[in-house]
Structure 1
Amino acid sequence: MKNKLIKPVPALALGALLIVAAFMLAKPGSSVAADDKKSEPARPALTVTSVRPQAAQLPIKLAANGNVAAWQEAIIGSESGGLRLTDVRVNVGDVVKKGQVLAVFSADTVNADVAQARAALMEAEANASEAVANAARAQSLKASGALSAQQISQYMTAETTARARIASAKAALASQELRLRYTQVVAPDNGVISARAATVGSVVGVGTELFRMIRQGRLEWRAEVTASELARLRPGTGAVVKAANGSELTGKVRMIAPTIDPQTRSALVYVDLPPTTDANAPFKAGMFASGQFELGQSNAMTVPQQSVVVRDGFSYVFKLNQDQRVSQIKVQAGRRLGDRIEVVSGLTPDAVVVVNGAGFLNEGDLVRNVAAGAPK
């Protein structure tokens, strides 16, 4: 009976020993695994490509804003007063040639005045013929004493007066013929009609504006620049002007204003634009336009635009160090040309900067660098 109760005890003890042994064996193994994990090298956060900065010739440009205006706008008015406008032959946007008839006034009254002036001239010429004949007879009788010296002088004076009346009548006729010519309003130059105030049936006075015309279809860009920028510009400097609709034109500086506006502290630079008579031309007088003056070229250190990351309003590049970790460097970005951008300061020419993947990096990140164009 006692033997049957004592036999299970060694079995229980043996089981406990096995559990303890298993625990002891497992504990050293876990420590080794942890040590192995600590000894593994850190994995790169991202695969990137890198380049060194390149020297390049970049254009020097000066940006400005301004308005597009007519090179010269001619005001075409009436040179006759009190006449009725009977015909208007052009409208806004029409291209006209020098001497082309734009409008016509009623000429009935003027034609009557011309006829009267011609009749007065004929009368003056007839009176002059008689006065010349009388003066000649008086001169022939001078030696005979049939006429006194006073009478002869009167005949000579009458001849001179008659000749003067002819000249006066001719001038009056010329004046009336000029009025007749003024009944037709003609274009003073080639150009484009930019405004029209003429209305058929209206009676206008002398000097009343009828049309406005952009002479020769020429436009100019009046750029506003500061006093410090003014010294960098010269007549003949090239400029690229961009309209609000995206169209661009190339022009040259024709003139620089001799004074600076005391209110805005800016000066006007007049840039000639290519002439056009196309009514659908993208540039029109009165529109706003931006542009850039081309001031030559200069040496610059450039990197791909992908290398420059903008964060919190500042520009940064990531420099690749020898330990394959990156350093975030603040730089000053400058001009752009194609897919490259100038680095004005903050970077040395021998630095290696990250290109692809720069936007995903942070200070101290470990990266895997591959050659540009290689498969990642």
Structure 2
Amino acid sequence: MPWYIFSIICLLLTACGQPQTPPAKHTARNPTAHLVKTAIVSPQPLTTTTVYTGTLRARRIVRIFTQEKGRITYLPYYEGDVIKVNARLVQLDDVLLKAELNKAIATHKYARLNVRRLQKLANKKMIPADDLSRAQTEQAIARASEKILRTRLSYTKITAPLTGIVTARLAEPGDVISENTHVLTVIVPTSLVIDVDVSSLLLSQLKLKETVLVRIDALGTKTFKGYVSRIHPTIAPRTRLGRIEVALRPLPQGVRVGQFCRVIIKSHISPRLTLPYTALRRDRAGEYVFIVDADNKVQRQSVRSGRRLADRVEIVEGLKKEQVVVIKGFLGLQAGKTVLLKE
């Protein structure tokens, strides 16, 4: 037998004869507690700050219309002019109406004298009663005609019903206009309000005279104090928005009708269950939190959240008062795991 074959056989026999080394035993470790930070679910009053946009408008606005036709002979006011109450705004040509009025006055006077004459004759039984009745009817018609013409003549002069500012001039002296023609628009500058459309939820919480803050873009970043002056009783069925009116008192310098405004409203909601927003988790199954039980073990609890306000969130469903929830330490955290509460 060759020497090299003999050497291989000896090596194989030596390897088979060595005892097998037993596998190393794994030493069991005690599971360590998971370190987390917690918070207590508690009811807290919620305060929201919402910015709404609106437009300045005049609450008191008067559109001056003519009630008589004719040629304008006097119209001195232009846009921006201040007018006083009872000031003459418009004068129409009244020559023809004055002539008709004089005729009606004469007719009325004649009818009145005729009734007196016939009354004396009727007392003496010298005329039929129908003649007196006819004369009395003619007198009443003449009196009514005179009154109509006096009223029409008064319509040729239009006076200011209030003190305000002219915002629109729609006619000029010399124009011949018909009845019910719009010639001027006057507003009361102290009646400026802001129309704001707000959600129906907020509308139910607002009260009259409630203070708000207003910022007018045209006047820079400065804010002004205002208050809710009126709450409209209806809500738009399509948008579910209701309207409020915000008044500024005193009015800041430089305000104009039509300016764009931002109204800052703080609303207070009755106490609701809340917790830090960081405690709320989400996955495909929905929203949930980890609650800590009496044995310091965490359990998954499905919840339904509401409003988020700053660093807290309202919990509408799924939790009870005084429950403990995890707000930090979610890495590797699973339901049933023992946790160590971090101070």
Structure 2 length-normalised TM:
0.60
Correspondent of 1:252 among 227, 233, 236: 227
Say if 2:91 is the partner of 1:104. Answer: yes
Greater Cα radius of gyration, structure 1 or 2: 1
Identify if the C-alpha distance between structure 1 residues 88 and 248 changes in structure 2 by more than 3 Å, giving closer, same or farther.
farther
TM-superposition CA deviations, 1:76-113 (whole Å, max 9, x none): 100102x0001112111222222211111111111111
Match of 1:13 in 2: none
TM-superposition CA deviations, 1:251-298 (whole Å, max 9, x none): 32122222223443322111223476x9xx422112210011355799
Correspondent of 1:282 among 254, 274, 280: 254
Identify if the C-alpha distance between structure 1 residues 216 and 98 changes in structure 2 by more than 3 Å, giving closer, same or farther.
farther
Match of 1:122 in 2: 109
Which amino acid is the alignment partner of residue 252 of structure 1? Y
Question: What pairs up with 1:48-197 in 2 under 5 angstroms?
Answer: 61-81=49-69, 83-138=70-125, 154=128, 156-197=129-170
Q: Distance in 2 between matches of 1:62 and 1:167?
A: 67
Give 3-state SS (helix, strand or coil) of 2:121's partner: helix
Please tell me whether the aligned partners of residues 236 and 253 of structure 1 are also in contact (alpha carbons under 8 angstroms): yes
Give 3-state SS (helix, strand or coil) of 2:234's partner: coil
Deviation at 1:126, TM superposition (A): 1.9
Give 3-state SS (helix, strand or coil) of 2:80's partner: coil
Q: How many residues were matched structurally?
A: 231
Say if 2:206 is the partner of 1:233. Answer: yes
Deviation at 1:60, TM superposition (A): 6.1
Identify if the C-alpha distance between structure 1 residues 88 and 95 changes in structure 2 by more than 3 Å, giving closer, same or farther.
same
Q: Distance in 2 between matches of 1:296 and 1:91?
A: 47
| Root-mean-square deviation (Å) | 3.0
Q: Distance in 1 between matches of 2:121 and 2:112?
A: 14
Q: Distance in 1 between matches of 2:155 and 2:169?
A: 18
Deviation at 1:64, TM superposition (A): 1.4
Identify if the C-alpha distance between structure 1 residues 162 and 250 changes in structure 2 by more than 3 Å, giving closer, same or farther.
farther
Q: Distance in 1 between matches of 2:52 and 2:116?
A: 75
Match of 1:270 in 2: 245
- Structure 1, gaps ≥5 residues long: 1-57, 139-146, 299-333, 336-341, 346-376
Give 3-state SS (helix, strand or coil) of 2:257's partner: coil
Please tell me whether the aligned partners of residues 66 and 221 of structure 1 are also in contact (alpha carbons under 8 angstroms): yes
Q: Distance in 1 between matches of 2:137 and 2:311?
A: 86
Structure 1 length-normalised TM:
0.55
Q: Distance in 1 between matches of 2:148 and 2:223?
A: 51
Give 3-state SS (helix, strand or coil) of 2:171's partner: coil
Which amino acid is the alignment partner of residue 87 of structure 1? Y
Deviation at 1:72, TM superposition (A): 2.8
Q: Distance in 2 between matches of 1:182 and 1:167?
A: 23
Please tell me whether the aligned partners of residues 95 and 191 of structure 1 are also in contact (alpha carbons under 8 angstroms): yes
